[in-house]
Structure 1
Amino acid sequence: MGGKPGRTSKLAAAVLLVVNFIVMMACGAVFAFSLWVIVSPITLSAVIDKIDSPVVRTLLASHTLTASLGVALALLALFIFIVALMGFCGAVTQSQFLLLMYSALILLLVLLECALFYYFSSTLLEKGLQKEDGQWTHALRVAFSCCENVNGTTTVSKLPWSCCGLAGIPDNCTAGNMYQKDCLQTVAVWLRRYQTAAYASLVATHVVLSSCALLRRRS
């Protein structure tokens, strides 16, 4: 316990330092963005409008930059930052308490992430894409090159721009150039193929980090 750290402990510390430093930097960027959303959404919207990316401008349209979004992002970023800071400081100081807390929180986080992934995927398969779900529906349509209820959308007077991909921005999507793949079927196929791998990746990443914390703690 009080001896010189071994090679395994040093490797575990290096993993914790690198991963948690990257996570803290990302959380800092998200937190700064969330504060901007809360304090001055008008100026943020003006900056976003100057970005040479129609996808970014559309997904981060002015009506999506609400105070509730900013608060939610700020709280999420702050929580993850604190967890990452525990891992970073614990790796440096070999604090028994910090490393144990970090290991426990990392395992709790993977349970929460898997539960959320299951909830959203099952809801998506049950209900499909809904207009009230917001901007993320556009991202899913573009990512999967699909449009919901393909057989029935030809009668709709105004299709979502994302049913035609980037060419549909802002209101140029018509039944003649819309995606022909149904989103519900396409997402279902993707989930059947990759859902297990997604769960395994989440669990493996968190287990590795938790194990590194315990290895560093016991050195």
Structure 2
Amino acid sequence: MANKASCTSIFAALVLIVVNILVVLASLAFLTFGIWAMASPSTLSGVIQTIPYTVVKALLPPQVVTARLGAGVAAVSSVIGCIAIMGLRGAVSRSPFLLFMYASLIFLLLLLECALFYYFASSFIEKGLQDQDGQWTHAIRLILLCCEYNSSSSAEVSRPWSCCGVDAYPDNCTLQLAYDKDCRQTISSWVSSYQTTLYASLAGLHILLFSCALLRRQSASHSYS
């Protein structure tokens, strides 16, 4: 029984270590981006425009890469990175306190992520894509291959470049090249088809990390007693 518990604890630790190392590395990359954007947005924008991938340059034009964006990215990546470091340190040191805090924060993150997805999905379905949504509108059009200014709209209506794909960046989108699918209907259909899968995937990942943290904590508590 002790050997089985030990193997379970080791497996839980390995899962926590691997996942949290990957999260820490990703957080460091985003934190670097955020700090660079705050320190010198023009320099970062110049580097981005040299990237050979048109979609990156299109979604991150100079007017988007600002100190405000950098501050937001840095703040979010710092929080996620700190949680990951907490889980990594707890898994290695078998600290009951760190593992309990990590499990609690993972559960809270699950609730937050589900709430944010529900809010944005409901907003897009109800209102459609709005200009104030910023670069999200371009990203959604590119992912779903849709356009709210489709063929039923007036030919004189100005269409965003993303209605025709990245090849139309920055202002080469025409009625003939625009996607036929309406974005509002496409988003509604996508959410209806995949929201259960998305919620299940989020819940599965977070429950796995939550369970591993509690298993590792339980093993640590037994070893101290």
TM-score (normalizing by structure 2): 0.93
- Alpha-carbon distance between aligned partners in 2 of 1:156 and 1:212, rounded to the nearest angstrom: 58
- Percentage of identical aligned residues: 51
Letter in 2 for 1:122: S
In structure 2, what is the equivalent of residue 126 of structure 1? 126
- Alpha-carbon distance between aligned partners in 2 of 1:3 and 1:179, rounded to the nearest angstrom: 60
In structure 1, what is the equivalent of residue 91 of structure 2? 91
* 1:170, distance to aligned residue in structure 2 (A): 1.4
- Alpha-carbon distance between aligned partners in 2 of 1:107 and 1:210, rounded to the nearest angstrom: 7
- Alpha-carbon distance between aligned partners in 2 of 1:106 and 1:121, rounded to the nearest angstrom: 22
Deviates more, 1:127-136 or 1:150-159: 150-159
Structure 1 counterpart SS, 2:207: helix
In structure 1, what is the equivalent of residue 34 of structure 2? 34
- Alpha-carbon distance between aligned partners in 1 of 2:58 and 2:77, rounded to the nearest angstrom: 23
- Alpha-carbon distance between aligned partners in 2 of 1:151 and 1:38, rounded to the nearest angstrom: 41
- Alpha-carbon distance between aligned partners in 1 of 2:15 and 2:26, rounded to the nearest angstrom: 17
* 1:37, distance to aligned residue in structure 2 (A): 0.4
- Alpha-carbon distance between aligned partners in 1 of 2:157 and 2:10, rounded to the nearest angstrom: 62
In structure 1, what is the equivalent of residue 11 of structure 2? 11
In structure 1, what is the equivalent of residue 146 of structure 2? 146
Structure 2 counterpart SS, 1:113: helix
- Alpha-carbon distance between aligned partners in 1 of 2:111 and 2:156, rounded to the nearest angstrom: 41
- Alpha-carbon distance between aligned partners in 1 of 2:149 and 2:164, rounded to the nearest angstrom: 14
Would the alpha carbon gap of residues 182 and 13 (structure 1) be closer, same or farther in structure 2, given more than 3 Å must change?
Answer: same
What are the superposed Cα offsets for residues 20-63 of structure 1, whole Å, 9 maximum, x if unpaired?
Answer: 00000000000000001000111111111111111111111010
In structure 2, what is the equivalent of residue 160 of structure 1? 160
What are the superposed Cα offsets for residues 80-123 of structure 1, whole Å, 9 maximum, x if unpaired?
Answer: 11110110000000000000000000000000000000000000
* 1:4, distance to aligned residue in structure 2 (A): 10
Deviates more, 1:145-154 or 1:69-78: 145-154
- Alpha-carbon distance between aligned partners in 2 of 1:203 and 1:114, rounded to the nearest angstrom: 9
Letter in 2 for 1:63: Q
Would the alpha carbon gap of residues 161 and 52 (structure 1) be closer, same or farther in structure 2, given more than 3 Å must change?
Answer: same
Letter in 1 for 2:52: D
Structure 2 counterpart SS, 1:52: coil
Deviates more, 1:10-19 or 1:172-181: 172-181
**1:1-219 to 2 correspondences below 5 Å:** 6-150=6-150, 152-219=152-219
On the 8 A contact 1:153/1:159 being kept in 2, the answer is no
Structure 2 counterpart SS, 1:84: helix
RMSD: 1.6
Deviates more, 1:113-122 or 1:183-192: 183-192
Letter in 1 for 2:164: C
- Alpha-carbon distance between aligned partners in 1 of 2:51 and 2:199, rounded to the nearest angstrom: 34
- For structure 2, the residue ranges without an aligned partner over 5 or more in a row are 220-225
- Alpha-carbon distance between aligned partners in 1 of 2:88 and 2:163, rounded to the nearest angstrom: 44
- Alpha-carbon distance between aligned partners in 1 of 2:11 and 2:190, rounded to the nearest angstrom: 36
Would the alpha carbon gap of residues 177 and 4 (structure 1) be closer, same or farther in structure 2, given more than 3 Å must change?
Answer: closer
